[in-house]
Amino acid sequence: MANVKNLHPQVPLRKPAWIRVKAPTSQAYANTRNLMRKLKLNTVCEEAACPNIGECWAQKHATVMILGSVCTRACAFCNVATGKPDLLDPHEPENVAAAVAELGLQHVVVTSVDRDDLADGGANHFVRCIEEIRRRSAETTIEVLTPDFLRKESAIGAVAAARPDVFNHNLETVPSLYTKIRPGARYYHSLRLLDQVKRFDPSIFTKSGIMVGFGETKGEVLQVMDDLRSAEVDFLTIGQYLQPTPRHAPVVEYITPEAFKEYRRLAMAKGFLMVSASPLTRSSYHADKDFESLRKAREARLSGG
């Protein structure tokens, strides 16, 4: 099965059968949505138009997005609103912890918009969320998916010092496409962020992800894998980019499930503890199950298994 390439960029590609998902309709999905509304919480599931929202919310899994719903960046792939940021909600950490407790989550993912307007980029808000979740749900494992905290001194160390179980920061794409896809970010800064976390505390699992289908080459994807392993990143996710609206970057290519399997095989051979690679893979998709697999993989490697 060959990849589906866009030979006419001005005309959107039709989604192949392997990328289509059903619309969410379950009562459990509605219950999760209603809880988020009640506690006035944003989720990246909705704001980024994640294709897995129906499946995840039906299982009471939601990725909470803190620091408001408006981002100070304008990445070409992202559906989150850009503009003047919201005022910080001082009760948000408590509300996040309340949602985690009410849903009975074993594992939670907390992410955010970019907040270049804040002196610490929102790092202290992440810390408060971690502390509140631990206070109310001590057994819940916590994964943070942070922005890059570009030019925010000590922000990375502050979040790492709160010791989340997983520190995730996505590279999103290959270096050659940064000016087009992620213009406000710097590839090597993001790479250093992941390296700094691992140096601060080697026991924290680090994680990163990229999307494919922007027009990157296989060689570039393999180089990103090598770069991440040089920073001792434990977990890699690779998913298909989907164009959220006509004003966003077009899909250049739909990568086949077979090609994703090959990416996973190659990444595992490079030494990652965990690799999730499929058309619908997203950073927090199946994060709870993946965390358990990640922990077991580390134990097996340390024991020589």
Q: pLDDT averaged over consecutive 10-residue blocks of the chain (305 residues)?
A: 69 78 64 73 60 59 84 90 90 92 88 95 97 96 96 96 97 97 96 97 97 97 98 97 91 96 98 94 78 89 80
Residue with tokens 């994640």: 50
Tell me whether residue 109 is in a domain: yes
CA distances from 90 to 81, 126, 176, 269 (A): 21, 12, 39, 45
Amino acid 160: pLDDT = 98
Which CATH number do you get for residue 215? 3.20.20.70
Tell me whether residue 1 is in a domain: no
Amino acid 21: pLDDT = 64
Tell me whether residue 176 is in a domain: yes
Tell me whether residue 298 is in a domain: yes
The domain total for the chain is 1
Tell me whether residue 191 is in a domain: yes
Under 8 Å between Cβ of 272 and 231: no
Domain that holds residue 33: 20-302
Residue with tokens 């407790």: 101
Tell me whether residue 5 is in a domain: no
Write the CB contacts of 181 (distance below 8 Å, at least 6 apart in sequence).
75, 76, 77, 172, 173, 214, 249
Amino acid 24: pLDDT = 56
Tell me whether residue 10 is in a domain: no
Tell me whether residue 199 is in a domain: yes
Amino acid 283: pLDDT = 81
Strands (E), 89-194: 107-112, 141-145, 166-168
CA distances from 301 to 9, 165, 290, 296, 304 (A): 45, 18, 16, 9, 5
